[in-house]
Amino acid sequence: MKIFVLSIAFATCGVAWSAPDTLLLEQGQALYEGAGSCVACHLEDGKGQPGSVPPLVNSDWLGDTNRTVAIVLRGLAGPIKVNAKRYYSAMPPQLLFDDEKIAKIVTYVNNAWGNTGPEVTEQQVSAARASLPEDVLTPEAVLKRFPFPQNKQKANGTYTPDFDDTLSVIDHPVVYRTFMPGASPAAFAVALPGNQYYCWDAGESRLRYIWTKGGFIRGNQVHWSSNGKPIASFNGTPYYRAQSSLLKPENDRELARTNHGTPFYDTSQAQDFPFVIEGAKGPPKYRGYRLINGYPEFRYQLGNHVIHEHIKATEDATGVVRRFRVEPPVELTFNVTLDPAAKITSSAGIVDHEGLLKLSAQQAREFQLTILEREPFIPVPVTNTQGEKTK
d(CA 208, CA 243): 8
Considering beta carbons, is residue 148 or 286 the nearer one to other proteins?
286
First-to-last alpha carbon distance for the chain, in angstroms, is 55
Give least dist CB 187 to other proteins, A. 8
In this structure, are residues 201 and 273 in contact, taking their beta carbons and an 8 Å threshold?
Answer: no
Q: Decide: 284 and 293 in contact? Cβ < 8 Å.
A: no
Of 28-36, 105-113, 135-143, 178-186, the segment contacting other proteins by CB under 8 A is 178-186
Confirm or reject binding of residue 290 to other proteins (CB under 8 A): yes
Positions 291 through 350 that interact with other proteins (CB under 8 A): 291-292
Give the phi and the psi of residue 105 in degrees, each rounded to 5.
-60, -50
The residue (of 293 and 386) whose beta carbon lies closer to other proteins is: 293
> Minimum CB separation from other proteins for residue 268, in Å?
4
**Beta partners for residue 351, in sequence order:** 357
Count residues binding other proteins (CB under 8 A): 48
Burial 158-178 (b: 16+ CB within 10 A, else e): eeeeeebbebbebeebbebeb
Indicate the helix (H) or strand (E) that contains 361. helix 361-364
- Which range binds other proteins by CB under 8 A, 24-32, 38-46, 174-182, 323-331? 174-182
Q: What does the angle CA 260 – CA 262 – CA 264 come to, to the nearest 5 degrees?
A: 90
Cβ 24 to other proteins shortest distance, Å: 31
Residues with Cβ within 8 Å of 141's Cβ and at least 6 positions away in sequence, in order, are 133, 135
Restricted to residues 245-284, the positions that interact with other proteins (CB under 8 A) are 247, 251, 254-255, 257-268
Q: Which of 359, 360, 267, 368 is nearest to 308 (CA)?
A: 368
For residue 326, give every residue at least 6 positions away whose Cβ sits within 8 Å of its Cβ, in sequence order, or none.
Answer: 305, 306, 307, 308, 332, 364, 365, 366
Nearest CB to other proteins, comparing residues 237 and 248: 248
* Binding track over 115-144 against other proteins, x by CB under 8 A: ------------------------------
- Judged by CB under 8 A, does residue 172 bind other proteins? no
Shortest reach from residue 208's CB to other proteins, in Å: 10
Looking at residue 302, the DSSP 8-state letter turns out to be E
88 near other proteins, judged by CB under 8 A? no
User: Using the rule CB under 8 A, is 110 a contact of other proteins?
Assistant: no
d(CA 316, CA 95): 20
Least distance to other proteins, CB of residue 250, Å = 12
Q: At CA 383, angle to CA 380 and CA 387, rounded to 5?
A: 100
Q: Which is nearer to other proteins, 99 or 201 (CB)?
A: 201
- Binding to other proteins by residue 107, rule CB under 8 A? no
**How far is residue 362 from each of residues 279, 304, 331, measured CA to CA in Å?**
18, 17, 8
179-238 positions binding other proteins, by CB under 8 A: 179, 182-186, 202-203, 220-222, 224-231
Choose, by CB under 8 A, the member of 146, 200, 239, 286 that binds other proteins: 286
Nearer to other proteins, 109 or 270 (CB): 270
In the bound state with other proteins, the residue whose beta carbon lies nearer, of 150 and 268, is 268
Q: By CB under 8 A, name the binding residues for other proteins.
A: 163, 174-179, 182-186, 202-203, 220-222, 224-231, 247, 251, 254-255, 257-268, 286-292
